């Protein structure tokens, strides 16, 4: 039986960084018809109810029906260490991240964290993530299995490291290639799952390992590749010391076959002009992680790059300080303000949905509401708390209704999450 969701409906016909709020389509009394995991129709609620009288009705009143949120850069194994106190990147890795990731040699522990993580994010309206695992194949199996049981579209890969990490978290160039290839062949394209080739970053991968993974990507060019780029200034200095022959940080990837369309670079805060030009020329994607960048003191991302590159938005669990994409939108707004870049609510919402989908090269499948799109939806209560409700009383536009929820909303604002046409 088809389902008919009624409420305010928000979708996008273009990029608000190019078109402004005209890129958005708002139906004040709209509806979305879904069947067999896909959006069948979008339009006026009365018309769709009359045309589909047998569809199961879900009347959400004045709540907002949107594409589900897409978190384009996370480390699900860091779920248990989120909001750990007081360290910058390198110390964070050594004190918190690496000891926690060592625990994922235990498949039962990996399964527990994977299940917990997906429960936490779906309760906050996130329907797709792109995640790093650990070096352990069991950590990849755990997150894909947990997503598969929920019908989720999910991207993930084994994190590869062969230096500057504890012995229990290091592999080799050959093992990174072999295990990544085996996992790719096991999971990529199964149901709604996609494998992502995943060197953590240049400080923890030798040129030989980066080259091995570049070779694997050349064999499977339809896959994505994810890594980190220019997150902190001391990290960049470390990269220069480890790769003295490189022109810049990006060059450490470029020379090993890890720069082209389908590349996802997290953070990308302190870019040189050459790096910006090459990223644009190559058609790569950047992922903005605002709560992480402020929490561990990395810097302020330049959202002006969204006019030239595919830019997604992410929580960066657990360097980021919250599982919520609403909270992440609020942080993106504040980071942009500090750079003198005022982001419109349409741009913020687009970054968390269609923008992240475009970064993942999945905009034809997810991140929007249109016939034929996969039915991953979030229903957002725009008056979920007394503080938000009073802030919306004088709202004259949909954006004045939405913005208080972006800035103050949390899991209480999520009225429903639908994944693959099924309400969780």
Q: Judge whether 366 and 72 are in contact, CB under 8 Å.
A: no
Say how many Å lie between the first and final Cα of the chain, rounded.
17
Please name the residues in contact with 98: beta carbons below 8 A apart, sequence gap of 6 or more: 165, 166, 169
Which CATH number goes with the domain that contains 409? 2.30.40.10
Position 85 scores a pLDDT of 83
Helix (H) or strand (E) holding 186: helix 173-187
Residue 44 has pLDDT above 90, yes or no: yes
Asked if 316 and 349 sit in the same domain, the reply is yes
Question: For residue 358, how many C-alpha atoms fall within 13 Å in the half-sphere facing its CB?
Answer: 21
Residue 89 has pLDDT above 80, yes or no: no
Residue 373 belongs to what domain range? Answer: 3-67+368-423
Return the pLDDT at 401: 97
* C-beta separation of 121 from 417 below 8 A: no
The answer on 149 and 38 residing in a single domain is no
CB 266 within 8 A of CB 231: yes
pLDDT tens digit string along 64-81? 999 999 999 999 999 999
CA distance 79 to 120: 9
Q: Do 94 and 142 have their domain in common?
A: yes
pTM, 2 dp: 0.97
Q: And the tokens for 388?
A: 């938000």
* Lookup: tokens for 201: 């970053």
The answer on 330 and 239 residing in a single domain is: yes
CA 306: distance to chain centroid?
A: 15
* Residue 32, strand partner residues: 5, 42
Q: How many CB atoms lie within 10 A of CB 294?
A: 17
pLDDT band at 94 (very low <50, low <70, confident <90, very high): confident
At residue 92, the pLDDT reads 78
403 — phi, psi (to 5°)? -60, -40
Question: Do 112 and 235 fall into the same domain?
Answer: yes
**pLDDT, position 93:** 85
Task: Report, as an integer, the average pLDDT of 109-132.
Answer: 98
Last residue of a domain, one of 359, 385, 405: 359
Mean pLDDT within 5-25: 97
Whether residue 182 is found in the same domain as residue 239? yes
Position 219 pLDDT exceeds 90: yes
CATH number at 135 reads 3.20.20.140
Other C-beta atoms closer than 10 Å to the C-beta of 403 total 23
- Per-residue pLDDT of 276-298, as tens digits, reads 999 999 999 999 999 999 998 99
Nearest to 382 by CA among 359, 357, 403: 403
Q: Would you state the structure tokens that stand for residue 184, as one six-digit string?
A: 């790719």
Residues 47 and 175 reside in one and the same domain: no
Domains in the chain, number: 2
**Rounded to whole angstroms, how far apart are CA atoms 21 and 36?**
31
Same domain? 271 vs 377: no
Q: Calculate mean pLDDT across residues 160-171.
A: 96
133 and 174 fall within a common domain:
yes
Domain end, chosen from 336, 359, 382, is at 359
Model confidence pLDDT, tens digit, residues 326-376: 999 999 999 999 999 999 999 999 999 999 999 999 999 999 999 999 999
The whole-number pLDDT of residue 91 equals: 84
DSSP string of 102-157? HGGGSHHHHHHHHHHHHHHHHTTTEEEEEEE--SSHHHHHHHHHHHHHHT--EEEE
**Is 216 found in the same domain as 308?**
yes
Residues 131 and 19 in one domain: no
Confidence of residue 88 (pLDDT cuts 50, 70, 90): confident
Residue that finishes a domain, picked among 314, 332, 359: 359
Residue with tokens 């960084």: 17
Phi and psi at 192, nearest 5°, equal -115, 35
Whether residue 266 has pLDDT greater than 90: yes
Is 146 found in the same domain as 98? yes
């Amino acid at each position: 039986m088809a389902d008919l969701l009624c409420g305010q409906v928000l979708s996008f016909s273009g990029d608000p960084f190019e078109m402004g709020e005209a890129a958005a389509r708002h139906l004040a009394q709209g509806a979305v018809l879904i069947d067999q995991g896909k959006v069948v129709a979008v339009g006026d609620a009365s018309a769709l109810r009359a045309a589909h009288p047998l569809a199961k009705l879900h009347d959400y009143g004045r709540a907002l029906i949107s594409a589900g949120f897409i978190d384009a850069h996370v480390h699900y194994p860091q779920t248990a260490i989120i909001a750990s106190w007081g360290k910058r990147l390198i110390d964070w890795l050594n004190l918190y991240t690496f000891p926690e990731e060592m625990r994922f040699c235990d498949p039962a522990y990996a399964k527990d964290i994977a299940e917990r993580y997906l429960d936490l994010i779906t309760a906050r309206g996130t329907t797709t993530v792109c995640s790093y695992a650990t070096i352990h194949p069991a950590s990849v199996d755990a997150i894909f299995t947990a997503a598969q049981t929920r019908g989720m579209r999910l991207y993930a890969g084994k994190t590869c490291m062969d230096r500057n990490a504890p012995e229990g978290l290091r592999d080799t160039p050959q093992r990174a290639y072999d295990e990544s290839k085996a996992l790719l062949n096991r999971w990529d394209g199964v149901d709604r799952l996609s494998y992502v080739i995943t060197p953590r970053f240049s400080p923890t991968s030798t040129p030989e390992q980066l080259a091995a993974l570049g070779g694997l990507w050349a064999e499977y060019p339809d896959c994505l590749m994810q890594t980190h780029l220019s997150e902190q200034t001391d990290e960049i200095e470390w990269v220069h010391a480890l790769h003295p022959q490189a022109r810049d940080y990006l060059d450490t990837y470029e020379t090993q076959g890890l720069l082209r369309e389908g590349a996802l670079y997290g953070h990308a805060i302190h870019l040189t002009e050459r790096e910006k030009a090459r990223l644009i020329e190559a058609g790569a994607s950047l992922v903005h992680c605002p709560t992480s960048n402020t929490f561990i003191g990395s810097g302020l991302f330049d959202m002006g790059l969204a006019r030239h590159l595919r830019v997604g938005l992410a929580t960066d669990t657990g360097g980021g300080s919250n599982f919520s994409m609403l909270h992440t939108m609020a942080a993106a707004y504040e980071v942009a303000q500090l750079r003198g870049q005022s982001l419109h609510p349409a741009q913020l919402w687009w970054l968390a949905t269609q923008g992240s989908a475009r970064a993942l090269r999945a905009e034809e499948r997810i991140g929007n509401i249109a016939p034929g799109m996969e039915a991953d939806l979030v229903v957002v209560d725009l008056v979920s708390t007394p503080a938000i409700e009073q802030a919306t009383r004088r709202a004259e536009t949909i954006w004045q209704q939405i913005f208080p929820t972006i800035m103050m909303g949390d899991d209480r604002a999520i009225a429903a999450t639908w994944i693959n046409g099924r309400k969780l």
